[in-house]
Amino acid sequence: MAHAAALAVVCPDARPAARADPSQRVGSFGLRSEGVPAFPSSEFDVIARIRHRLATSHEGRADLPGPHEGEVFSGDDAAVLAVPSPGQLLLSIDLLVEGVHLDLSLSSPADAGWKAIAVNASDIAAMGGRPLHVVAGITAPPGTDLDAISEGMVEACSSYGIALVGGDLSTGGSVVLAVAITGTCDGRAPVLRSGAKAGDVIWVTGPLGASAAGLEHLRCRGAGRPHEPGAAGPALEHLVRAYRRPLARVREGRAAATAGATAMIDVSDGLSKELDHIGSDSGVGIRLHYVPAAKGASLAQALGGGEDYELVFTAPEGAPVPEAFATAGLRPPERIGICSSVAGERLLDGRLFPVTGWEHSFSG
């Protein structure tokens, strides 16, 4: 962690004045528990096993951070965290809801736990930042494999060097995973969506559409429908894994920021929608000459499939983007277009491309 200048208190267990059904409350990761039962069933058993898994992970995994001096993770009503200095604190939150973001007939509870952490880390990556801490809330029906969900979370945290510092548990009618994350840019200015300029080059960190293609394959296979995937063997396995276990491009985000990225966003809802956000927030047009589709994915999936979590960013012509990625030992990003001075322009090979992708609807 960067030089800690102050301590902040982050509450993992906010308690509203009243709940419709207090019996539904399970408890928080911050609850102190001594024993570690073999088969969790009560709130105390579950919390004890999660805390035991975190404790053993801190001891056995050098890349899963433990508390620094003056910090307190799980064990109290709130975590006590060092505030990174210099610079600003990044803070984000994401929800994964069964039936909306999660289909547990197509992926495992451990996959769900991994994904809940990875999609949050991706938000920090899109700012050019480094993830620091997460708190995780889990709602689940009785009988849900909470061990597997928490193990998936711990595995992802270990992969990205994130500290899981607390959380909350509750029973409910379906699985809901709510994760909040902090991060830092280590004294560098964060990369926003609004900084692109006309003439900037548009880059993407990798091929797109893999997650959507993997989901289509799993749905067709599960329904017994005929489906001819555009990939087989390891390539098909890559598509399925892209859906089940997406990767946050943290190192790529930092390389892009080092190279002088002017705007950046992660491809969670689809490339066309993310570029529309950059174009609208920056007041520039978007002219694409190329969309890199993953092997086995269609152009439509690459443009609007979403959940790829690659990063799309802009940088001035001549910025040392390839050099920054090479220095970091990363695969080179792909140059896919340019920002124009015509606000509202959205072109692919000179033709208007549709702004498609995921968007929640709250209409009745």
Enumerate domains of the chain plus CATH numbers.
4-11+23-184 (3.30.1330.10), 201-225+240-352 (3.90.650.10)
pLDDT band at 90 (very low <50, low <70, confident <90, very high): very high
In 10 A of CB 288, how many CB atoms? 21
Instruction: At 299, list the tokens.
Output: 């152009």
The pLDDT tens digits of the residues spanning 324-361 come to: 999 999 999 999 999 999 999 999 999 999 898 666 56
Q: Kindly report the average pLDDT of the chain as a whole number.
A: 85
**Are the beta carbons of 140 and 149 closer than 8 angstroms?**
yes
Using CA of residue 320, residue 322, residue 325, residue 329, what is the dihedral sign? negative
In sequence order, the β-bridge partners of residue 96 are: 177
Gap between the Cα atoms of 268 and 352, Å rounded = 22
pLDDT in tens, 244-269: 999 999 999 999 999 999 999 999 99
Question: Read out DSSP for 107-168?
Answer: S-HHHHHHHHHHHHHHHHHTTT-EEEEEEEEEEE-TT--HHHHHHHHHHHHHHHT-EEEEEE
- Name the token pair of 239: 């598509």
Tell me: pLDDT of 160 over 80: yes
Output the pLDDT for position 86. 81
Mean pLDDT of 49-65: 65
In total, the chain counts a number of residues equal to: 364
| Alpha-carbon gap, residue 113 to 134, rounded angstroms | 12
> What pLDDT score was predicted for residue 1?
38
Residue 93 neighbours by CB distance under 10 Å? 13
Residue bearing the bigger pLDDT, 39 or 309: 309
**Is the pLDDT assigned to residue 229 strictly greater than 80?**
no
Assess contact for 328 and 251: CB atoms under 8 A: yes
Q: What is the mean pLDDT of residues 153-175?
A: 93
Q: What is the pLDDT of residues 302-311, one digit of tens each?
A: 999 999 999 9
Separation between Cα atoms, residue 340 and residue 279, nearest integer Å: 9
